[in-house]
Chain A
Amino acid sequence: MFGSLDISTSGMIAQRERMASIAANIANRNTILDADGKVNPYRRRMVHFAPGDPKAGSSEGRAMGVHVAKIEIDQGEPNYEWDPSNPYAFKEGPRAGYVPTPNINSVVEQINAMEAARAYEANVVAAEATKTMMAQALRILG
């Protein structure tokens, strides 16, 4: 019975990691430079969930939990904004005068964030219910 809390905990951890990637996407919505200062717009991070949690301490958690299998970096085309006065705009080529910006849609990110928050809440409720059951089992004894 105690191991079953691991299942809900793994769900909370996975949703929190998802929320972290959403927060990073929103925070970097206008980031057009990479860590080296080169023009390389931020690419959207997407988490992928898979059943089972290899890091859980109990067999129930390992078999029935959830974990983040992979954080994928969106390799799609960036957006291009017309801004010729920007020092980072392309100087030549077919896109001269355009600045590459991340292809992050804040509406999509907000909705994903809401979904992650609700899923996190559902896991919290499940964990609370399990805790109540454990307390009741203990009360049988006296």
Chain B
Amino acid sequence: MMADLFSSGGMQALELTLQFAGQRQRLIQSNIANIDTPDYRPMDVSPAKFQKSLARAIAAREQLGGDQAGGPLLLNDSREIVQQADGSIRLNPQTASGNVLFHDRNNRDLERLMQGLAENTTTYRVAADLLRSRYDVLRTAISQRV
């Protein structure tokens, strides 16, 4: 029962989203830092693919134990996102291609990078705020005891 306290409902999903956005932030930062590096190709992971595999994991868990089911969410391992034994995820970025190649053989795209940065920051913020409100609910429940 106590284990379910921190893994029931959306908490696991929020935690994974935080991990994903936190690690993707590094990739975006790296792409921005290397914007003038010759031969550098931006690396990224697809947030859409992560969302899809998260949705599938939530659906699978619901099938097992209903709406308020607890327990770890198991993501389907893909080429880009690998879930480790302790439940945390590790990103395996892919080199993006299909952009204008500059003369220094770097296919930078500052606008897209900044868009990705803004989106990723917002995703992180949403997950952090929702997780905080879940903890607030828990705290309220705890403080009601006699």
Chain A interface residues (CB < 8 Å from chain B): 1, 4, 7-8, 10-11, 14-15, 18, 48-51, 60, 64-66, 115-116, 118-119, 122-123, 125-127, 129-130, 132-133, 136-137, 139-140
Q: Does residue B125 face the partner (Cβ distance < 8 Å to A)? A: yes
Instruction: Flag if B35 contacts A139 (CB, 8 Å).
Output: no
**Contact A7:B35 (CB < 8 A) given known A122-B113, A132-B121:** no
Interface residue from B29, B110, B129, B135 paired with A8 (Cβ < 8 Å): B29
26 A-B residue pairs with CB within 8 Å? A1-B22, A4-B22, A7-B29, A7-B30, A7-B33, A8-B29, A10-B33, A11-B33, A18-B36, A49-B36, A51-B30, A64-B30, A64-B33, A65-B30, A122-B35, A126-B29, A129-B25, A130-B29, A132-B121, A133-B121, A133-B124, A136-B125, A137-B18, A137-B124, A139-B128, A140-B131
Instruction: Flag if A11 contacts B128 (CB, 8 Å).
Output: no
**Neighbouring A residues of B22 by C-beta, 8 Å:** 1, 4, 133, 137
**Neighbouring B residues of A65 by C-beta, 8 Å:** 30, 33
Q: Tell me the chain B residues, 3-62 only, with Cβ under 8 Å from chain A.
A: 18, 21-22, 25-30, 32-38, 40
Alpha-carbon distance A5/B63, docked complex (angstroms) = 41
**Neighbouring B residues of A139 by C-beta, 8 Å:** 128, 132
Query: Closest CB of chain A to B88's CB: distance in Å?
Result: 13
**Neighbouring B residues of A14 by C-beta, 8 Å:** 33, 36
Instruction: Flag if B128 contacts A64 (CB, 8 Å).
Output: no
Alpha-carbon distance A49/B114, docked complex (angstroms) = 21
Alpha-carbon distance A133/B114, docked complex (angstroms) = 15
Query: Closest CB of chain A to B123's CB: distance in Å?
Result: 10
